[in-house]
Structure 1
Amino acid sequence: MTKQRLQKLIRKTERGQAVILIAFAIIGLVAMVGLVTDTGILLIEYGKLKRGVDAAAVAAAQQYRLRGNVLDQAALENAAKNFLQLNQSTDIVDGSVIVHSCESPVADRPVLCNPDPLNHPNDNRKLVEVIATKNVYFGFLRVIGIESTTVTANAVGEAATIDLVLVIDTSASMAFETDTDPTKNDFASDSPLENPSVCNTSAANPCQPLRAVKNVALDFINTLYFPYDRVAIVTMTSQAPGGDRYPREILALTSDKADILSHINNINVFEPQDCNGSGTTEGSCLNYINGNFAGTICEIWEKHANEATADPSSCPSSNIGGALDLARVAFTKDPLHTRLDAFWVVVSLLGGPANATDILDPIDYPNGFCPQYTWTFMWDGRFCQDKYPSVRHADTDVAPYDNPVTPGVETDEISMYDPDDYARDRADDLAKSISGEGVTIFTIGLGKPIKSTALNDGTPISEDFYADGTTRIPPAEALLQYIAECAGDGIDVITYTTPTSYVCDPSNPPTINHGQYFYAPTSTALADIFDRIAKNIATKISQ
């Protein structure tokens, strides 16, 4: 009997052990399933968090700008947090979203800062790190007491560093607002107050609109972030009294804000030589009648206007193409400090059409390209410009010419290439000078001459329409629109052989990152335009 009870007890014990083993097996199975399933959940949630943090870093980088004189750290943090809240669940751990930049460095994130910004400015980068932690709740692993865990992700966003070239028109048109008398001609500076030798040095009556342009440019520079961003300055003409009409780079790319502001303040309106009455000195000159300033004239042409040899090609001073070419060179002339990953931008403020070029052929064209048919007093257009800005020529295009002053005596082939063609070619070179999206160009046309179709004497062109019935557009505005919105798209230089109102070639849609053209009838409109450009630039993200 005792033996039977013992055997029965053993059988019950074995059954109990089996139950225990089965229970442990079930727990183990659940743990294994949980390990697989909940690990998958963990990876999925981490992936979602990582994508959210990546996007939050980009959102924060978009706010990488100044508030006053310091980085707006609060804007970075708010952008990152708001983005995560909108795109993640409520499982983000309170207080876990951390935003770092070089302006708020921590010991374990030195990678955000350039250790030697002065000697190695190319290494300056606008980096923003975002770190966030999220709760992940398990399903199966709760059986073994593991309710949840946390995952942490980080990402670094980068706002584009900016290399910017500021191109400022310094021709005589930048003094035409100095005299506020509304009866004064907007196309010529002939008031004594508009004499550049006077207004360039006058504190009470500085050259206008140039002074207003400089004030707005100073405010614009204050929107950039130094030492990350760099600025170069190109003026349309020499800055020395009695200087020449050719563009100058007065400041190479630099992150020295004080130097930039100083150079802007010191920009002057072109001050050519005084007229001497000889009619033999090339270039424009300041004309005085009975000691009173009477405007800037082309004396060498006026003294010989009725002669076949009359040549005004040394006088016009709006070399837009040359200024754009200097802007192109400014980005790349120093290979050791060229920043290919920066956002390259040109802001050009111009007051009229192109009427001069660089000297590319000193033998045949010692004063640059200026079609000879525009030289005579019989020409009813402007010096060095054909009547149709969309008639595009190559620098090799020539045509027969019979000088109307001496018909049948002087016949020759002359170049049809004019300063407008040259400016468009240089704009193409500038816009496509780097791979990828290209150089972004903003153009601002200032003053009534931008909208004008008037001739040298102010008489409007009689034809209001082109041969195809489309409305004529002013040459200056057509050029500035082309530079900002069309240049660099591989347009054939002889796409247009007959007049048309098209600014861009409709068969060649844009392929690079273009800027925008703005028109400012007076200098009072400039502040809003520069503000819009600054906001456009600030939102450009390189990564």
Structure 2
Amino acid sequence: MDHNILGRPALASQLRPDAAGLRRAHTYTNPMKRGGIVRQFGFRRGSSGQALILLAVAFLVLLAFVGLTTDVGILFIYMGHLRRAVDAASLAAAAQYREGRTISEMTAAAMQVMHLNGVDPGTYTIEVDICDTAPGDRRLCTTPRRKLVRVTSNLAVPTAFLRLVGVENIQISASSIGEAASLDVVLVIDLSESMAWDAPPGDPMRDPSQCNAADPTGADGFKGECQPFEEVKRAASGFVNRILNRPAGAEEDRLQIVTFANGWNSDPDLGTQYRFIDYSDPLHPRPRWTSDAGEALALINNLNIYEPDTCYTPANSVPPDSVVNEYYGPCRFYNSDWSYAWLDCLSCWDSGDWSALPTTNIGGGLLRAGNMFAFDTRQEALWVVVLLTDGMANATDREEEDRLDDFSTYPIGFCPDAQDTPFPVFPLCQDEDVTTRHGSGHAAYDADDYARDMADFVGCFPVNPAASCGGVTGQGAIIFAVGLGEGVLENGCGWGTCEAHSKPYGATLLRYIAAVGYDGDASSDPCDSVSDYTEWCGNYYYAPSGPQLSRIFEDIASRIFTRITH
């Protein structure tokens, strides 16, 4: 019994624990009860509220970044718009500077362009400066002087999201310096005796010695009464006033004047010469630029057309005291009643060569114009040549071995067809086909070829010249060619040798010069489709008479463009 009593409870206690034990064991081993999972993963009561706060903060930060990105994008858009508007405004102000306007007028022009570019008048400020208003600013006050205008604008840009934190707008600024291109201009003027041919034959005003001396005080504004040359002076003076429109000390533009007649005379009124010369070194005078309008106007006023001495032969050892005498080259020939007849050349009769007679050295004028840009060079300036002539090229500079007093060295210059007998036949020093082009070593190389070569030298680009330049590297200058009167339209068919294609000798050459000077490439001539040689095209102009010249020179001045720098 004891055995049964003692054994059974022991076995029962081992195999069947009581209910409390079962609950305790069950409670301990069941992790799904009473928040056990919360304890297992580390959460506590109240932590869910903190997570919501963190999520809210993260959302606000993200929203701020989105808003900042949006406002920065808006700023970039406005900045690009403002820079474009200010660039345009600086060009507009520079154009007014070109016209000699005041600061207030430049500012008004700049503001108008800002408005046209969509900038709200109430949202920006603008300031316009030139060297005169900012004398210490090295960007505006350069040496030598340049036509620089700075436009600065501040713009208030409204914000989209930053206004939520109190930032209503952000100020941005843009500045641009516009430049009315400083000019280096060479004015090349024909002085040939035909500049008096508006007067009919027999009229004293056709005589260069008479019309040059008339009206010595310039009662009508200009000395002399040679026509159309007086109108040439008038137009050239108006052009000078447009180019040199500021006091000499403040003027940024520069001018040189080259005059041409024959190619061998050292007298500036007879040959082909620079008119502004620096004599500071008497042994080595050199051409110089001028920025003084008064000096240029005075020189133009005192210009005379080609006026050689009176003809005589060496046998006339005792001429009348009142007669100045000439033998070599052109001279003034008078009839028995001392009325003026024409230019003659007594040495030409004796030599049988007429190359010393012509007086329209277009090529020589262009050569000096091109060389002028090598003196006190300004690379940043706009180089411009304006050529005016009333005829065809019939003379050149002389070759080194040419001597007037040695007939064995004739012809003078490049004039292969000068041995006309007994009289000179039009055209002189030029073949009868304007479409031909000979190299300088060719036996037929003439005054027309020489002028075209000099046009290439002036107008072809110094780097990568056009194929039409034939390998010539030039100055890259702009050339305007102006033909005056019926002489440039002459094709010889009426009284000389007719041009092979009935084209005008002078105007065809001038169109070539203008084409090279238009874009450095004669093959892209804007006049190719224009058959009327009296019509303006590209850089070619024609005036039937003197009074039309002023309008031409005004048009040339107005076409000078502006440039922009930052």
Once the two structures are superposed, what CA deviation does each residue of 1:28-47 show, in whole Å capped at 9, x if it has no partner? 43333322331232233222
Aligned to 2:291: 255
8 Å Cα contact 1:31/1:144 also seen in 2 = no
Could you say which residue in structure 1 is the equivalent of 2:439?
Answer: 394
Q: Contact 2:312–2:346 (CA<8 Å) still a contact in 1?
A: no
**Residue of 295, 316, 341 corresponding to 2:358:** 316
SS in structure 1 of the partner of residue 555 of structure 2: helix
Q: 2:542 aligns with which of 505, 519, 531?
A: 519
Question: TM-score normalised to the size of structure 2?
Answer: 0.74
Shift of 1:139: 1.8
* d(CA) in 2 for partners of 1:58, 1:386: 48
Q: How far has the Cα of 1:102 moved from its partner?
A: 2.4
CA contact (8 A) 2:191 2:306 kept: yes
Q: Secondary structure at the residue paired with 2:440?
A: coil
Distance in 1 separating the partners of 2:295 and 2:69: 63
Question: Conserved in 1, the CA contact under 8 Å of 2:425 and 2:496?
Answer: no
Question: Which residue pairs with 2:169 in the alignment?
Answer: 148
Match of 1:294 among 340, 351, 360: 340
Who is 1:482 aligned against? 512
* Aligned match of 1:439: 477
Where do 1:71-470 residues align within 5 Å? 71-90=101-120, 93-94=123-124, 96-103=125-132, 105-106=133-134, 109=137, 111-114=139-142, 120=143, 123-177=144-198, 179=199, 184=200, 191-203=203-215, 206-224=225-243, 225-226=245-246, 227-237=251-261, 245-251=270-276, 252-278=288-314, 281-290=327-336, 292-300=338-346, 303-304=349-350, 309-332=351-374, 334=375, 337-362=376-401, 364-365=409-410, 367-372=412-417, 374-377=419-422, 380-397=425-442, 415-432=443-460, 434-435=462-463, 438-454=476-492, 459=495, 461=497, 466=501
Query: Given the superposition, is the C-alpha separation of residues 542 and 315 from structure 1 closer, same or farther in structure 2, using an over 3 Å criterion?
Result: farther
Per the alignment, do residues 162 and 525 of structure 1 end up closer, same or farther by CA in structure 2, a change over 3 Å counting? same
Q: Root-mean-square deviation (CA), in Å?
A: 3.3
Distance in 1, matches of 2:526 and 2:154, equals 53
- Unmatched tracts of structure 1, length 5 or more: 1-10, 115-119, 398-414, 467-471, 493-501, 507-513
Structure 2: distance between partners of 1:446 and 1:222 = 21
Letter in 2 for 1:439: A
SS in 1 for 2:70: helix
Q: Is the 8 A contact 1:478 1:503 kept in 2?
A: no
Aligned-residue offset at 1:237: 3.4
1:404 alignment partner in structure 2? none
Structure 1's 199 and 365: CA in aligned 2 closer, same or farther, altered over 3 A? Answer: same
| Residues in 1 aligned to 2:267 and 2:339: alpha-carbon distance in whole angstroms | 16
Report the AA paired with residue 555 of structure 2. Answer: R
Q: Quick check: 1:58 aligned with 2:91?
A: yes
Q: Quote the Cα distance in structure 1 between the aligned partners of 2:423 and 2:521.
A: 37
Letter of the 2:141 counterpart: C
Q: Displacement of 1:269 after TM fit?
A: 0.6
**Cα–Cα, structure 1 residues 448 and 491, in superposed 2: closer, same or farther, change >3 Å?**
closer
CA contact (8 A) 1:53 1:132 kept: yes
User: In 2 relative to 1, CA 328–365 (structure 1 residues): closer, same or farther, beyond 3 Å?
Assistant: farther
Partners of 1:346 and 1:134 lie apart in 2 by: 43
Deviations 1:85-110 (A, max 9, x none): 1223427625x02222224x147745
1:97 counterpart letter in structure 2: I
Larger radius of gyration: 2
Q: Secondary structure at the match of 1:158?
A: strand
CA contact (8 A) 1:482 1:504 kept: no
Aligned AA (2:89) = A
For 1:38 and 1:540, the matched residues in 2 are separated by: 36
Deviates more, 1:76-85 or 1:264-273: 76-85
CA contact (8 A) 2:214 2:225 kept: yes
Shifted more, 257-266 versus 42-51: the winner is 42-51
User: Residues 476 and 520 of structure 2 are in contact (CA less than 8 Å); yes or no, is this contact kept in structure 1?
Assistant: no
- Contact 2:91 2:178 (C-alpha < 8 Å) held by counterparts: yes
Structure 2 segments unaligned to the other structure (5+ residues): 1-43, 277-287, 316-325, 403-408, 465-474, 530-536
3-state SS in 2 of match to 1:541: strand
Point out the more displaced range, 220-229 or 13-22: 13-22
Note if contact 1:56-1:80 (Cα within 8 Å) is conserved in structure 2. yes
Q: CA deviation at 1:490?
A: 6.6
Counterpart code for 1:142: R
Change (3 A) 1:172 1:21: same
Specify the SS of the correspondent of 2:97.
coil
SS at match of 1:63: helix
Say whether 1:36 aligns with 2:36.
no
Deviation for aligned residue 1:345: 0.5
Give 2:553's aligned residue. 530
Is the 1:192–1:292 contact (alpha carbons within 8 Å) kept by the matching residues of 2? no
Report the Cα offset of residue 432 of structure 1: 2.2
Task: Supply the AA of the counterpart residue of 1:345.
Answer: V
Question: Could you tell me whether the CA contact under 8 Å between 1:172 and 1:270 is conserved in 2?
Answer: yes
The percentage of counterpart residues that share the same residue type is 37
Deviation string 1:174-221 (CA, Å, 9 cap, x unpaired) is 1122x3xxxx25xxxx53222222221211762121111111111111
CA contact (8 A) 2:190 2:388 kept: yes
Cα distance change on mapping 1:295 and 1:362 into 2, 3 Å: farther
Aligned pair count reads: 463
| Superposed displacement of residue 389, structure 1 | 1.8
- Could you tell me how far apart the structure 2 residues matched to 1:108 and 1:270 are? 49
* Alpha-carbon distance in structure 2 between the residues aligned to 1:56 and 1:243: 46
CA shift digits 1:212-243 (9 cap, x unpaired): 11111111111114411100000113899987
Corresponding position of 2:405:
none
Q: Which amino acid aligns with 2:154?
A: T
Give CA deviations for 1:447-466 in whole Å, capped at 9, x if unaligned: 111111237xx616557x63
Which whole-Å CA distance do the structure 1 matches of 2:76 and 2:522 have between them? Answer: 51
Q: Distance in 1 between matches of 2:138 and 2:186?
A: 31
Structure 1: distance between partners of 2:548 and 2:527: 26
Amino acid at match of 2:231: A
* C-alpha distance in 2 between matches for 1:89 and 1:377: 77
Hey, what does 1:403 align to over in structure 2?
none
Q: The residue matched to 2:139 in structure 1 has which SS?
A: helix
What amino acid does structure 1 have at the position aligned with 2:398?
Answer: I
Question: Partner residue of 2:39?
Answer: none
What amino acid is the match of 1:248?
A: Q
Q: By how many angstroms is 1:171 displaced?
A: 0.7
CA 138–490 in structure 1, closer or farther in 2 if over 3 Å, else same: closer
Pair 1:288–1:230, CA change in 2 (3 A):
same
Distance in 2 separating the partners of 1:368 and 1:74 = 56
CA distance in structure 2 between the partners assigned to 1:107 and 1:269 by the alignment: 45
**Cα 1:373–1:528 shift into 2, 3 Å:** closer
1:250 and 1:242 map into 2 onto residues whose CA distance is 11
Give how far 1:290 is off: 3.0
